[in-house]
């Protein structure tokens, strides 16, 4: 997991994350399930050049799905909610 793009997989741009950005300046990312808060901070610093003031993580549980007769589950994944230092922004969420 030494790859920075392996730690921070992608930004999550949803209606809920857009509202969190507008109200509280929080950015939401999908991260590697084994990534720690310190690794997430370091990856954001290296990838985007921003300093994270607060990192909160949560593991999203599996959901049962059905496609016709086939039953299955979605994989577990980890979400990170990041608050940056005052005055710092990410263009991913603003554009």
pLDDT at 5: 80
Residue 9 structural domain: 4-87
pLDDT at 91: 81
Domain total of the chain: 1
> Tens of pLDDT along 35-48?
999 999 999 999 99
- Please report, for the domain that includes residue 47, its CATH number: 3.30.70.330
- Of the given ranges (31-45, 62-76, 78-92), which has the lowest mean pLDDT? 78-92
Tell which wins on pLDDT, 33 or 91: 33
**Residue 45 CA: distances (Å) to CA of 36, 40, 66, 70, 76:** 14, 9, 40, 43, 26
In a domain, 95, yes or no: no
CB of 81 closer than 8 Å to CB of 90: no
In a domain, 82, yes or no: yes
φ/ψ (deg, to 5) at 88: -100, 140
> Tens of pLDDT along 75-86?
999 999 999 999
**DSSP assigned state of 88:** -
pLDDT at 3: 80
In a domain, 92, yes or no: no
């Amino acid at each position: 997991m030494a790859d920075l793009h392996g730690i921070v997989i992608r930004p999550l741009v949803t209606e809920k994350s857009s509202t969190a950005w507008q109200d509280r300046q929080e950015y939401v990312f999908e991260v590697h399930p084994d990534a720690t808060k310190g690794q997430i901070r370091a990856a954001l610093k290296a990838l985007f050049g921003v300093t994270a003031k607060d990192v909160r993580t949560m593991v999203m549980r599996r959901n049962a799905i059905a496609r016709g007769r086939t039953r299955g589950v979605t994989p577990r994944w980890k979400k990170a909610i990041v608050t940056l230092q005052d005055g710092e922004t990410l263009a991913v969420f603003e554009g």
